[in-house]
Amino acid sequence: MQTQSQSKLPLAGLIALALSGFLAIMTETLPAGLLPQIAAGLHITTGSAGQLVTLYAMGSILAAIPVIALTQSWTRKHLFMTAIGGFLLFNSLTALAGSYWLALLARFAVGVAAGVVWGMLAGYARRMVPANLAGRAMAIALVGTPVALSFGVPAGTWLGNQVGWRLVFGIMSVFAALLLVLVWRTLPDFPGTTGREQVTYRAVWHTAGVRPLLLVTLLWLGAHNTFYTYIAPFLAAKHVAHVDVALLVFGIAALISIVLTGIWIDRHLRKLAIGSLILFVISTVLLGTVGLPLVWIALWGLSFGGAATLLQTALGQRVTNDALDIVMSLNATVWNVSIALAGALGGLLVQAGGAILLPWVTAVAAGLALLVVIRYLH
């Protein structure tokens, strides 16, 4: 019979983690919807304004591994609150920036803070619960990502068009300040590791199953983002006028997927991963061959919504608690690299042969990921 601590989730703390992911995604993607405004405000070209997104991603890619390694001795709550404080400071600096170079510096720095958050988020959730609830806890902690992508970013773009891009970044700073209070009040603290207890990246890298799962992250997320980043030109080729409706359909389906993943993941991780990838491949092939694109986009969202939870849960099962942040920082780095590569590959595909090629490349990459999961995830 389970005790109360074993059967109940610490919802307040998990919601604080979910809001942290929401803040990170909002901060990352807000400039994309406000590029003309930012360009006008900083007296630069729209292309130059787009580098504010690039610098954020570079900060996340370059920081996750070294910062997590250098701060292993910090208590986990201290490190996490420092990262949220980075969002408060550097979003404020972005809002007040009078020059392009200061804005770039602020965006790189807040990307570093995001790299720390992504390196800790899943591991923190797992530490807060017994092993039998780890998957469900991680599903809750990661729900902020699809919520931000589906609803937060369009709302932020609309608000920016009403009140200006600087005020939107100011609102993100206020959100970070409130989140700091919530994190301080609801998250338990966990000790860092010192001396001989500290785990090396080399040891984690060579842990059985880690490298295949990181490869799945690279392939699956890369496949998704290659298509998702350039969904607008693809839908235009399919004569679908309302991209915003398509993205909303995807987001709602992804949220449903996360709920279902949270319910079943602790008992059926392997089946969910294999089933999700099979459904992902089917949906992208149908998008490339059959009409009714909104139906297949819903199927795509249903197949992909739980991906982050599935992969990070599988990674977390392969290491001890002391190595959680190390393996998750590796995952965060691979995640961001896959996004960067997907953007470049998708752009080349659209230029070379048209957006109609996107679902086929996506299906092939996801099919390879499926083979790796079948072989290595047990």
245-261: per-residue pLDDT in tens?
Answer: 888 888 889 889 988 99
Indicate the fold that domain 7-191 takes in CATH: Growth Hormone; Chain: A; (1.20.1250)
Find the mean pLDDT for residues 80-100.
Answer: 96
Judge whether residue 266 has pLDDT over 80.
yes
Find the mean pLDDT for residues 139-161.
Answer: 81
Q: Which residue has the higher pLDDT, 316 or 79?
A: 79
Span of 71-75, 155-159, 277-281, 334-338 with lowest mean pLDDT: 155-159
Q: Can you give the C-alpha Rg of the chain in angstroms? A: 20
Tokens of 146: 């699809």
pLDDT of amino acid 2: 40
- Which amino acid, residue 370? L
Q: How many Å apart are CA 189 and CA 124, to the nearest integer? A: 9
Check if 7-191 and 198-378 are the same fold.
yes
pLDDT of amino acid 1: 34
Residues 212-226 pLDDT 10s: 999 999 999 999 988
Percent of the chain at pLDDT exceeding 70: 97
Q: How many Å apart are CA 269 and CA 273, to the nearest integer? A: 6
pLDDT of amino acid 353: 67
Tokens of 319: 């290491």
Torsion from C-alpha of 137, 138, 144, 145, nearest 10 degrees:
-160
pLDDT of amino acid 4: 38
Alpha-carbon 7 to chain mean position: 28
pLDDT of amino acid 7: 60
Residues 224-243 pLDDT 10s: 988 887 887 888 888 877 77
Where does the pLDDT of residue 5 fall: very low under 50, low under 70, confident under 90, or very high at 90 and above? very low
Residue count of the chain, please give it: 378
Q: Which of 252-256, 321-325, 343-347 has the highest average model confidence (pLDDT)?
A: 252-256
- 260 phi, psi to nearest 5 deg: -65, -40
Tokens of 201: 């990246």
Average pLDDT of every residue of the chain: 89
Tokens of 47: 């292309």
Indicate the fold that domain 198-378 takes in CATH: Growth Hormone; Chain: A; (1.20.1250)
Judge whether residue 93 has pLDDT over 90.
yes
Which residue blocks in the chain are alpha helix, DSSP H? 4-7, 11-33, 35-42, 46-70, 76-96, 100-127, 134-141, 144-147, 153-163, 165-186, 201-205, 210-228, 231-237, 243-289, 293-304, 307-316, 324-353, 358-376
pLDDT of amino acid 198: 76
Domain range annotation of the chain: 7-191, 198-378
Can you tell me whether residue 182 is helix, strand or coil?
Answer: helix
